[in-house]
Chain A
Amino acid sequence: MFKKTIQTSLKSLAVLGLLCVLNACGSSSTTSPTFNSVEYVVVNAGTLSATPTNLSGAGSLVFKAPLSQVGSKNSYRVTFTLQDTGSVTLVANSTVALASGVSVKFTRSGNTLNASLITTGGTTDISSRFTGVDASTALTYQVDVHNDESPAHVLLWDSAETSFTTAAARVNSENSGLNALGQGTGTYWGLVLDKATVTAAVLSTAKFSE
């Protein structure tokens, strides 16, 4: 009887062990936090405060789903407000660490909005394109990054724009006066905040078609 008890116990343990293994083989990854219903991974927690509809403080995050490929073209709609001396950077076609990408950085100085385009190829000041913009208000911009071109082609339109042409763009990196950029080398996109609040960051297909 003792032998039978041992055999039964061993069978039960084997079944239990198998169930544990099968359970572990299933998807058990922790769900990432979301912003605008899109999962992201925190790169630099800093003082970042996050809800599904609001990011604020200082820190950075990368969105979990990659872009289709390094040489892709996409559009990003970003809505943000900046504290004085604060900044927000949209990073596209970068590494997971948000490096080596094509970035658009907005910085507030009083009521003045400064902006720059940044790649590993260099930084181009595009602040003159934002003369008259009140940096103390909530701002929304639609940004195309065509990383399938060499150098990358960046266009930026005001939120009210519905005709996404080069003529209607507030910024066109191919205009004279803007230095040629490099290209991003990755398939990720994300945000870097410093004394900023972001309430929308939406990825879509490129608005401008060559």
Chain B
Amino acid sequence: MKNPILVVLIGMVFLSSFSKAESGDGTGLQLSTAGDIVGSLSKDGKNKLEVREAEFLVFAPIDHYFDGVLNLAAHQENGAALFEIHELTIGSTKLIPRSRFRVGQYFLGIGRLNQFHRHDWVFTSAPKVQSEFLHSEGLNDTGIEYGYLLPIPFYLDLTVGVTNGWVFGHAHTEGSKPYFPTHYARLATYNGLFANGGMQTGINYLGRTDNQGTKTSLFGLDLTAKWKEASVLKFLFQSEGWYRIKTPSSGVSEGAIGFYLFPQYAFTSTLQLGVRFDGFTITTLQDATGAQIANFDYAMVPTLTYKASEFSTIRASYNFKGTRFQGQTINSEQVFELQAVFILGSHPAHDF
């Protein structure tokens, strides 16, 4: 049996067709599938169209207190699409007043992009700061997360969590037990803006000490501002800035800063144009004689999006990327990307 998870999933889809119909009080099993197809074209690239991701999402209330989520996703690895568990959680928003929690495997509740499935992002590929500091698909681990809406006159929400931390980012092995597991926190607030706009701001922290004693600390700020006309998202501004410091048990610390800015304007209810600006630098890079090395990775990504509905997206983007090293451009690349995303079934809505 090549992929037992796929067989189980097909079985579940089959069985669910006989399950109770979705009801207004949400006791029915809900299924959603998403497909993400991406093609890229560049001078030295793969230049192919690929099924980047296929996702099967199952969610429902388990009983009057708990909710369950199962998210299986397949990615291309070495030419094969391999299904794996992305999320499997049991949680509740009803057990503790003003609180929510979940236990299991999930995308960590920090930053902006990291909390969304990649096919839901407002652009096609991860900015460098996301892929370097977290993961190009989002940082995901197994643990427990708790969120609390503070009982104050304005919106202030605190999320804290701790996860195993045996791996961090991209890994194909079980990893190793860290000296101190991955732990994180996000404090978010919301403010109304002029012209019926609104902005969510989050300050973020993540820490971990791996099995070699290297301590990683991440500090970030995420900003998402929206202006709507009726139900149309007329203008979006999304940005994240992160600072990371990695301190080995012996040796020199490495500091790095990265950010992205993404303004987007909607010409119509279906057509949007945005441009993403990325920046990334290692602040402590030195050569072997101790001389500081100036370095900067940059990207500009114009992005045109067509959304016929909330269930389909066609997106074209052009990546102008480069690396400056000691005052010279040592690497530059231009990549055209075409993306198609679809959702079948009921996909959970995002809070903002």
Q: Interface of A with B (CB < 8 Å)?
A: 29, 32, 40-41, 62-66, 68-71, 95-96, 99-100, 120-121, 148-151, 153, 165-166, 174, 180, 182-183, 185-188, 210
B77 is an interface residue with CB less than 8 A from chain A? yes
Residue contact A151 to B173, C-beta cutoff 8 Å: yes
Residue contact B254 to A69, C-beta cutoff 8 Å: yes
Given contacts A64-B289, A151-B176, 4 further A-B pairs with CB under 8 A are A40-B288, A69-B256, A150-B171, A186-B251
**What 1/0 mask marks residues of chain B from 70 to 82 whose CB sits below 8 Å from any chain A CB?**
0000000110000
Residue contact A180 to B173, C-beta cutoff 8 Å: yes
Residue contact A174 to B251, C-beta cutoff 8 Å: no
Alpha-carbon gap, A182 to B171, bound state (A): 12
**Nearest-CB distance from B256 to chain A (Å)?**
7
Chain A residues within an 8 Å CB radius of B52: none
B25 is an interface residue with CB less than 8 A from chain A? no
Q: Known: A150-B210, A185-B251, A186-B252. Is A69-B285 also a contact (CB below 8 A)? A: yes
Residue contact A64 to B287, C-beta cutoff 8 Å: yes
> Which of B286, B288, B291, B323 lies in contact with A63, CB distance below 8 A?
B288
Q: Known: A150-B168, A150-B171, A185-B212. Is A41-B288 also a contact (CB below 8 A)? A: yes
Closest to A188 in B: B288
Chain B residues within an 8 Å CB radius of A151: 171, 173, 175-176
B170 is an interface residue with CB less than 8 A from chain A? yes
Closest to A167 in B: B78
Residue contact A121 to B176, C-beta cutoff 8 Å: yes
Chain A residues within an 8 Å CB radius of B325: 68
Q: Known: A120-B212, A121-B212, A150-B210. Is A64-B173 also a contact (CB below 8 A)? A: no
**Nearest-CB distance from B114 to chain A (Å)?**
17
**Nearest-CB distance from A96 to chain B (Å)?**
5
Closest to B172 in A: A174
Task: Write 16 A-B pairs (CB below 8 A) sorted by A numbering.
Answer: A32-B289, A41-B289, A64-B287, A68-B282, A68-B323, A69-B285, A71-B246, A121-B212, A149-B171, A150-B167, A151-B171, A174-B172, A180-B176, A183-B212, A185-B251, A210-B77
Query: Which of B77, B169, B173, B175 has most chain A Cβ within 10 Å?
Result: B173
**Nearest-CB distance from A152 to chain B (Å)?**
10
Closest to A61 in B: B288
Query: Which of A62, A148, A151, A188 has most chain B Cβ within 10 Å?
Result: A151
B67 is an interface residue with CB less than 8 A from chain A? no
Residue contact B170 to A187, C-beta cutoff 8 Å: no
For window 184-213 of chain B, which residues contact chain A by CB distance below 8 Å? 210-212
Query: Which of A62, A66, A180, A188 has most chain B Cβ within 10 Å?
Result: A66
Chain B residues within an 8 Å CB radius of A120: 212
Chain A residues within an 8 Å CB radius of B286: 66
For window 302-346 of chain B, which residues contact chain A by CB distance below 8 Å? 323, 325
Chain B residues within an 8 Å CB radius of A166: 78
**What 1/0 mask marks residues of chain B from 221 to 254 whose CB sits below 8 Å from any chain A CB?**
0000000000000000000000000101011101
Chain A residues within an 8 Å CB radius of B174: 180
> Which of B170, B210, B252 lies in contact with A149, CB distance below 8 A?
B170
Chain B residues within an 8 Å CB radius of A64: 287-289
Chain B residues within an 8 Å CB radius of A121: 176, 211-212
Alpha-carbon gap, A152 to B171, bound state (A): 9
Residue contact A148 to B252, C-beta cutoff 8 Å: no
Closest to B78 in A: A166
Q: Which 9 A-B pairs have the closest CB atoms?
A: A185-B248, A41-B288, A64-B288, A69-B282, A182-B212, A95-B251, A70-B254, A62-B288, A64-B287
Residue contact B175 to A65, C-beta cutoff 8 Å: no
Residue contact B170 to A183, C-beta cutoff 8 Å: no
**Nearest-CB distance from A95 to chain B (Å)?**
5
**Nearest-CB distance from A26 to chain B (Å)?**
15
> Which of B132, B285, B291 lies in contact with A187, CB distance below 8 A?
B285
Alpha-carbon gap, A163 to B167, bound state (A): 29
Closest to B133 in A: A71
Chain B residues within an 8 Å CB radius of A62: 288
B12 is an interface residue with CB less than 8 A from chain A? no
Alpha-carbon gap, A120 to B213, bound state (A): 10
B13 is an interface residue with CB less than 8 A from chain A? no
Closest to B46 in A: A209
Alpha-carbon gap, A153 to B172, bound state (A): 9
Chain B residues within an 8 Å CB radius of A65: 287-288, 293
Chain A residues within an 8 Å CB radius of B211: 121, 182
Alpha-carbon gap, A16 to B162, bound state (A): 66
> Which of B169, B212, B285, B289 lies in contact with A148, CB distance below 8 A?
B169
